[in-house]
Each structure stands twice: as structure tokens, then as C-alpha cells.
A and B are shown apart, each in its own frame.
Chain A
Amino acid sequence: MKGFMKNFMSAVFKVPLTVFLGVALSSCGVMALAQSKPATATAKPVLVTYGSTGPLTQDSTSGPAVWVDTHAKTFVVGVVWLYQDNTCRLYPGQQGISAIRAPLHGKVFFTQENLTNPPGSWCAGHTYLYWVARYTWTDADETTLEDPVTLQSTDVYQGYTSTDNYSFAAMFAHIVADPVAASGSNAQGTQQDVANSNLIDPPQGAARYTWTMTGGAGILAFSNGAPSMTTTTSTAPVVSLNGASDTINVSVTVSYPAGSNSLSYGPTPYTYTPPLKIKSPQQDSSYPLSDSNYTENAPIPYQVSGGTGGQTQWSIELSYQTSGGYPQTPAEVTSGFTTSGTGTYTAQYTSVGGQLTVKATQGSQSDSVTAIIPGTAIPTGVLTDELVSLYGSNQPTPRLMTGIASVESTIQQFSSSSLYGQTAMWPLASYDGGSHIGLMQMPTSMDYAFNWQDNASNGVALFNSKVSMAKSVAASIVSSHNGLPALTSLQLENMALVLYGPYAGGNNQGMQYYVPSCVGGTVSGVNCVNGQWQWIANTAGNANGVQYANKVRNSIQ
């Protein structure tokens, strides 16, 4: 019983001296003390207080807290002086009641009312004209929770005055609305952000709370979807029906099981501001590079709901790293922009992908989501056509690049795999965790991962540089072997294949696809005496390299 004020009984005597007599009849907290009267009276008087549970006489004068509101004159107590001789007779004299400690936040009203003592109580069935005190909270400040009051009952008979004090705390509940916070369930069981309306210090013994709101029609409602709701606790969740904000007035009427008057609180104004939420893109949504070139994604709309409705600062971070941590520092592309209210900003991304981390900020509020930009299945014909085009039709083996792509990637830029917790068409990563990527298994980077055209063109360009290198190495070998014929352009391709593959040895003449062999003769310096220098496949010096080149040729599509 918060703020309950301990009171004390103070009997004020005028001559002659009086004697206390205490009678405890109940434990419910309504208290009274009787004071003896002089011999001129035929019996001693006893004060009977009629509280919320009926009439009582007790040896203490602290009453229970009484919950009040700003509307009703809430019954506090009725008092009457009787003979203490079990005759149930009204004690003679001039009786009355007043407030000796006046309320600070409300007003006490005094009336005389006929009350019948209920069965089981003192002088059950008897009706007396009680001096009754009622209370109404009148203070505009509704944040104060209690108002202690002390009443004094008097009886003046034949020059003797009997007094008795009765203290109580007028308790005032009030409505407080929490900020919109953790998700709760609405009437359909759907998770929804809620703002709880709470009745602070609710009346004890309340049976139900009937909540109503005004304003906010079609926008705000209680969690049952309606503008009114009955609860058995002192809390009613308010939800936004459409994610928008609005201002409402919330009231609540508290009812008791039976007998007592109901109490009403409010209306209390409250502005419901939904939390800032990123409405789009949604968490874990996917925007593949699905345009006709397989390099650009569908437009991504950026939009918020809730918040203050002002400017929203967006920060976008697109990050890519394979499951094995390639590149060692994640490739990142960042951007930022501003939207106003629930306006939408649309962005497309070209030749980049990975995990999109989106953060929206409005003042102190922020929200973030992650989405993904994966690749898409590119038809094999598209890839091989591009490779053939890049290499050129005048080459000794015009479709040679399809062989490289077949060995390196089985002609795929993207394949179904899991990354960032989502299975999608991610760039084809090498088995070691992704040191190499895509169609031509180039060193992993954002560009080579998500721009298949760059992957192809740079792979082909690299191969062409290997052809040039092969010519140089071959010329060097020819110059030191008299009579060794120059390599054909197709043989140079084989040399270049070894130089492109993982078993390349650079200019090391012993690591090439071909090495000179003195066939039918003996070597003497740069000469093959009685024989002929010929090129042979270097399976002795670089079997792995030769095997790679052969595999490429056998894999041409």
C-alpha cells in the first residue's frame, strides 16, 4: 500500500477525564476507538466507522487507502457514535465530522446518509444516519499518487467532548503510455510493435479495466484491433494499424467485482510514434544480377516506415568475401543518400554483389537490415560466345578459350552455393575457400566475382600475354638450337596454356610445354649432330603443365 500514511489516534479531552476503551473486531483495517463518557451517561460511547466493508469498531484510526478519481465523490467513511452496551442505541449528543488534516490535491465532502449495517457486523440490520466523508481528486496535476487526509469525529454531550481521528490516503491512479517498444502480438497473433498504456498504481481489487481511445481512427487501435478493449490487468497494448503515427486520448474505467462504484481515469493524450523501420529492402531479400547482361540487379527500393517522418540518412555497404576469406580484406562498396518521410530512393548495382548492409538513421533512431546481391545462372552459350568473340576468329584454335573455361570453371561464372547464410547463385569459388573466382578462375576480387565480362576479357587478355611470352621463350630456345624449327601458332598456344595454368614456370625453358630434343643424333653445343632438333612435349620437365594444356584442348566446347 504505497504511500499509506500511518496515523495515530488522538482523543481530545475536555473535563472530565475520559478513559480509552479499545475494541478490535476486524482485521480489515478500518479502525475506531471508543472513549468513555462521564457518569451522567448511562453507558460508554463507541465510535463506529462504516468503511468499505461495513461498520467496524477498532483500536486504531488508520484506514485503508481509498482509490479515487476526478469524477466521483468516492465514499471514504461513515461514522456514528453508539452506546457501548450492545443495545445499538445512538449515543446522545451533537455528533459531527471534519477534516483536521485537509487534502492537498482534492476535496472532502461531508454528508449524512442512512446506512444499514450489514449482517455479521456491529448491530447488524440497524440503520443509522452516518456522518459520511467522500473524496474527489481535483488537482490538475495528476502525477501525484496519494493525498493523506485525517478526519476527526466528535460527539459533544453534556459538556463533554469525545473525539476520534481517522486517517486515510486518497490514492489516485493515472495513465502512462510507454514508448513503442518490443514487439507483441496483435489480435491475429502477428508480431507487432506495441505501446503499452499503463494505469499506474491501479486500484486494489479491481475486476476489470475498460479502455477506450478517441482519435486515431483507422490508424491506431488497441491490440484487439478496436478502439476499446477490456483487460483484467492494468495494461492495454496500443498498436499502429498501418505503421503510421497519430495522437490519441486514452481513458480507462476500473470496475470492481461488485458493490463499489467504478473509477475513471483519463483521457490522457498520447502520441504514438512507431519505431523507425526499414520497410525496403527486407531482411534477407535477394536482388540477383538478373538483367539481360547478367551484370545489373533489379532496382532496390529504399524506404522506411515509422520514425519521426523527417529526413532519413541511409548508409549502404556492399561487401563480398568468399567463405574461405578471399579477398583477405572484404571487397566493399559504400554509398549514402537521404530520403524524406516515407519517400523511396531506388538504386541499382552493376558488376558488384555480396552482402548488402543497409542502415537507416533518423536522429537517435536507427534500423538496419541485410540483403544479398548474388549472381544469376548465365547460359553456357552466352559465356562461350563471349569467350570466342574475345579471343578472335583468326586464332589457330578460335574456341580455345572455351577449353580453358571448361577446365577452370566448367564454364560457369556463378553456381549454387551458400554464402552469408543464403543459398544463391554465388560466384564460383575455387575449392580452397575461394582464392580464385568465376569463369576463368581469376584472383578473387569484387569485379572478377560479379562482372563475368571482366572475368572473361581479362582472362583472355592474360592468355594473349602468355602467347607473347611463349613466342619470346620459343625464339630464345630456337636461337640456341641450330636447326630447330619455329613453333607453329598452334604450338605456341600450347606453350601459352602452360604459362596460363597453375604449373607455369615463367621463362624457365625447362618448364615449358615443349622442349627441344635431338632426335637421331647427339648433342654438341647448339647442334644436334647426325640428327635433327625437334620439339617434344615436356612431360619429363613439367608433366603437370603439359597435362593441364592437354586437358584444356580436350575440353574445348
Chain B
Amino acid sequence: MKATLAVGIIILASIGSAIGAQVLPISKQQESRSVRDGVESLDWRVQAEDSQNLARLGIRDLQLFVQKQLAAEDKVSGSGEKINASYGDICSVAVVDLSGGKTYSILASIDWTGRHFCNDLRIFTQDSTGIRHQDFQAWDVEDVAKLVVDIRGDGIKELAIPKSYSSYDGAKCVAIWTSIHATSNGNMADVSTEFNSYYKNRLQILQDRLSKGEDQPECAQMELDKIERFLKVSPSAGFERAQRWIQSNNPSLRSKAIVVFGDILDDPSKRELVKVVANGSDEDAAAAKIYLAAKPAR
């Protein structure tokens, strides 16, 4: 009697877990039965019958699926064997409902360097034509499940994708910009402008951090200034700071100043970039040229 009751509780718990799960981090997903014909053959709809339900897949099936997708891209054998690290390591993978109860997506972060830079974010979806994916150059996505947010609290999930805003500087800090993406016509579209509340909240976090003091505050400051520009609190926030940085002997600060000018890219900023091209180091000049090429100075 007790055994029967215990089994019943386990079954109910399993069902509840499967139904309630919107985001299933790999660590939380149960080990699944073998997917004989591959994940791509399953019905990815949220309401799919239990035996076909994507949300019940285990980590190994998901990893295998992503590996096969990457192998196919690289024209490497699609048999599903472990792909050589130089072709990409899967940092994390998760099944997520980003559609408000319609279909699941599979998110994966991938390291292409062999140094565990999990900066490639893949979003796999299924439609009538088969498996499709979108690719985002993200920054440090150790766990894709942590990107999933519900900013409006309406049950429809968005993705908050971090990207490097300043250029990589080795062990030094990298400024981050987080863009908000939501499903639109089957694709993940940048809808950041619809979520000012997210950025206002982020602004407060950054102000708190900076008020407490940081070892390398310039990256948080860059993000804060960019958010102020984004929210139109101050259209040229950070410009004067970048003017000071560009005079620095510190190449890292100069590099960040160029990024700020390139991001503002109004006439005063373009003039600063022109000065860098004319007088800056080769590296600074090359970076400045990239921004000017996109929108030449008048």
C-alpha cells in the first residue's frame, strides 16, 4: 500500500514537472528514453503527446541533436559522434517555450575556440520545412536557461542576450550590452525598444555597482552610458568621458573610447573618430575606420 502510494506520488510529480516546465535547464531534465529517430523527428509542439514531447528529453539527446546540426553545417559526418573540440563544444543546452504555449525551441550555447568562450548562441526551431536555426554572437553564455526572462510577467518568455559591447581585452573587463529578443513570425526579433523597464532596472543595478566602487569601473560605466542613450535620458551620455579616455596612455581605455564614439556616431563623435584615424595608433585607427566606414563623417 505504501509502495503504491509512493509510486503514485512519483508519477504525479513527474507529470507536474513536465507540464509546468517552461524552461528546462539541462541539469533539471530527466534522462530520457533513447530517441531512435533523432530529436528532429519529434513533434516540437508544446501540446505534443507525451511520448513525443520535447520537454521530456534528456541532456544527451539534446546534445546529440545539436552536435548533429553543427556537424551538418560543417559537412562533417552527421552520424552524431562526438565532434572534435575544434569544431565546437556545447556549453549548455535547454528546451524552452518562447512561443507562449505553441512550440518549443532548443537553445544552445557553443564554444568555437576550445577555450570555453561560450559566445555562439543557437536557437533551433521546427516548422513545416524542418529544423531551422538562428545564430547570435553573444557573450559568455554559460547557461542558456539563464537568458530566458518574462519581463512583462505575461507568461510569454523573452530572451535577454548579452553581447560584448567593448572589444575583448583579455583578462580585463568587457562592457556588455543586453538585447531583448522575442518570437516574431517564427524568428527571434530584437524587441529591446519595447522593454524600457528592463533597462531602467539594469540602470539602477549599474548605478548601485558603481557607487560601491569597482576594480575596473569603465565597463559598467560604458553600459550605463549606453542605457542612458538608449532610454534617451542623455543622447550623448559618455561622450565627454570617451574624450578623456581617448587621451589616455592606456590602450584599453582608448579602445573603449573608440567604441563609445562609434556607438554614439553623431557628428561630434565622428569628428573624434576622424582624429583617431589621423593621429591614433595603427590599431586605434583601424578600429575607428570600421565605424566611419559604416557612416562616414560629413
> Could you list which residues of chain A lie within 8 angstroms of chain B, going by C-beta atoms?
407-410, 428-432, 435-436, 441-443, 462, 465-466, 469, 499-508, 539, 543-544, 547-548, 550-551, 554
Contact = CB atoms under 8 A, between A and B. Distances in A.
Q: Name, among B110, B142, B170, the residue most crowded by chain A CB atoms within 10 Å (CB to CB).
A: B170
Contacts of A504: 112-113, 117
B168 A554 contact: no
B174 interface: yes
B182 interface: no
Interface in B79-116: 86-88, 110, 112-116
Nearest to B120: A505
Given A407-B170, A431-B216, A443 B86 contact: no
Q: Name, among A432, A462, A508, A551, the residue most crowded by chain B CB atoms within 10 Å (CB to CB).
A: A551
Q: Name, among A499, A506, A550, A554, the residue most crowded by chain B CB atoms within 10 Å (CB to CB).
A: A506
30 contacts: A407-B168, A409-B170, A428-B171, A430-B170, A430-B171, A431-B171, A431-B172, A432-B140, A432-B174, A436-B171, A441-B171, A443-B115, A465-B86, A465-B114, A500-B113, A502-B119, A502-B168, A503-B119, A503-B137, A503-B164, A506-B70, A506-B88, A506-B110, A507-B73, A508-B73, A547-B286, A548-B167, A550-B283, A550-B286, A551-B283
B113 A408 contact: no
Contacts of A548: 167-168
A441 B174 CA distance: 14
B281 interface: yes
A548 B174 CA distance: 13
Contacts of B169: 407
A465 B142 CA distance: 24
Interface of B: 70, 73-74, 86-88, 110, 112-117, 119-120, 137, 140, 142, 164, 167-174, 215-216, 219, 255, 281-283, 286-287, 290, 293
A304 to B, nearest CB: 40
Contacts of A506: 70, 74, 87-88, 110, 112, 120
A548 B287 CA distance: 10
B206 to A, nearest CB: 15
B140 A554 contact: no
Contacts of A443: 115-116
Nearest to A507: B74
B116 A435 contact: yes
B137 A543 contact: no
B9 to A, nearest CB: 32
A441 B287 contact: no
A544 B167 contact: yes
Contacts of A410: 170-171
A462 B115 contact: yes
Nearest to A550: B286
A436 B167 contact: no
B283 A466 contact: no
Contacts of B281: 554
Contacts of B174: 431-432
B119 A466 contact: no
B123 to A, nearest CB: 16
A217 to B, nearest CB: 58
A431 B73 contact: no
Given A499-B113, A501-B113, A503-B137, A543 B168 contact: no
Given A435-B116, A436-B116, A441-B171, A544 B137 contact: yes
Contacts of A543: 290
Q: Name, among B73, B86, B171, B215, the residue most crowded by chain A CB atoms within 10 Å (CB to CB).
A: B171
Contact of A503 (B142, B168, B216): B168
B171 A408 contact: yes
B293 A539 contact: yes
B263 to A, nearest CB: 13
A90 to B, nearest CB: 94
Nearest to A437: B171
Nearest to A404: B170
Nearest to B83: A506
A84 B255 CA distance: 115
Contacts of A407: 168-170
A296 B286 CA distance: 43
Contacts of A469: 86
A500 B115 CA distance: 8
Contacts of B216: 431
A543 B262 CA distance: 13
Contacts of B73: 507-508
B140 A429 contact: no
A83 to B, nearest CB: 94
Q: Name, among B137, B164, B174, the residue most crowded by chain A CB atoms within 10 Å (CB to CB).
A: B137
Given A499-B112, A544-B164, A408 B170 contact: yes
Contacts of A435: 116, 140, 142
A408 B168 CA distance: 9
Nearest to A410: B170
Contacts of B170: 407-410, 430, 441
Contacts of A502: 113, 115, 117, 119, 164, 168
A322 to B, nearest CB: 11
Q: Name, among A429, A469, A499, A501, the residue most crowded by chain B CB atoms within 10 Å (CB to CB).
A: A501
A138 B256 CA distance: 93
Contacts of A501: 113, 168
A539 B290 contact: yes
A462 B286 contact: no
Contacts of A550: 283, 286-287
A503 B167 CA distance: 10
A465 B113 CA distance: 10
A441 B115 contact: yes
Given A431-B174, A547-B290, 13 more contacts: A435-B116, A436-B115, A436-B116, A441-B115, A441-B171, A462-B114, A465-B114, A503-B119, A507-B87, A544-B164, A544-B167, A547-B167, A547-B286
Nearest to A430: B171
A125 B276 CA distance: 116
A452 to B, nearest CB: 14
A465 to B, nearest CB: 5
A554 B251 CA distance: 11
Contacts of B119: 502-503
A257 to B, nearest CB: 64
A443 B137 CA distance: 20
A548 B70 CA distance: 24
